[in-house]
Chain A
Amino acid sequence: MQEARGKTVTVIKDILGANEQIALENRGLFNEKGVFVLNVMAAPGAGKTSLIQRTIEPLRDRLRIAVIEGDVASTIDADRIAGLGIPAVQINTGGACHLDASMVRSALSGLSLEDIDLLLVENVGNLICPTGFALGEHLKVMVSSTPEGDDKPYKYPGMFSAVDVLLLNKVDLLPLLDFDMDTFRRGVEALNPNVAFFPVSCKTGEGIEAWVEWLLARRDQGFQP
């Protein structure tokens, strides 16, 4: 064996440590500039961009808002946000399944942080990988939606247990679906008893006010997670 001639070098280093380090630096920068940052995660089609739009509407006169859109490809989402007159930067991950801290840092060069109070980062539609990569955000926000089913918490415990806020979107569809709210809530409460939970409809606007009020209060409490 060739290894017999070799030697062992001890490393003991987290392989994702570089991401954690950059995330911490991002967080420091956000705190210094007074930018409150949300990392919005969900399955594709749950309504991340719609939620961001609904969050912008009541807040745009009170806070200076910007958006970072993460997608595998296309600028469709960034165009939607830019259409509202809100600064939006698109990150195309080129196939990667999640955003990481260095992608966010690169995207920041397209924004003027001094002029932003609230930064909404829309992650790539995925319920697994984004939980492993901190971006430097203050809050992890998950959008789930009723058509995905009431068993989602049981199937994706990693995501449901990692978030600070959970919005259940498309509650206007409940009369049409076999979605048992108690089953869903039980799963969520078991995995994440402290999560803030808001049933909403981005189509009708139901529940958005409660979420926005909570977000404002949370931001006023300060910039610690």
Chain B
Amino acid sequence: MHELAVTQSMLNLALEYAERASAQRITRINLVVGEIAGIVDESVQFYFDFISQGTPAEGALLSFRKLPARFRCTACGQEFPLRDGDWTCPACQRLGGEVISGREFYMESIEVE
């Protein structure tokens, strides 16, 4: 459900930039998605195929570049990646930490013609 609203925002942004570039058609949308951004690629694609119909973005390829989640332990300062959904610091076994990356969800570029 979440992805429908997100996909609509994404489509609007792409169409805005395409219009600004006086493009006829969007062929590809390059997205960057953090591992813990809560965005499901397949779901975005599913809604995109539907809501882009009749727009210059219809048929565009969606590319998802994944950014891994990284944390900084609040106890010992160790930086560590998310492993199988586990937020435990490998150095001191403490749970959690400051999120350094992984919550991103942005549009890098669009390819148009």
Contacts and interface: CB of A to CB of B under 8 A. Distances in A.
Contact of A190 (B1, B4, B9, B96): B96
Interface residues of A, number: 35
A9 B18 contact: yes
Which of A158, A161, A187 has the most chain B CB atoms closer than 10 A to its own CB? A161
B110 A11 contact: yes
Nearest to B7: A15
A9 B109 contact: yes
Contacts of B113: 2-3, 5-7
Which 4 pairs from chain A and chain B are nearest by CB?
A6-B113, A190-B95, A191-B96, A11-B107
Size class of the B contact interface (CB-based, 8 Å): 35 or more
Contacts of B104: 14
Given A15-B106, A190-B94, A9 B21 contact: yes
Interface of A: 2-3, 5-16, 18-19, 95-98, 100, 128-129, 132, 153-154, 157-158, 161, 186-187, 190-193
A7 B10 contact: no
Nearest to B89: A190
A3 B38 contact: no
A129 B27 CA distance: 30
Contacts of A8: 109-112
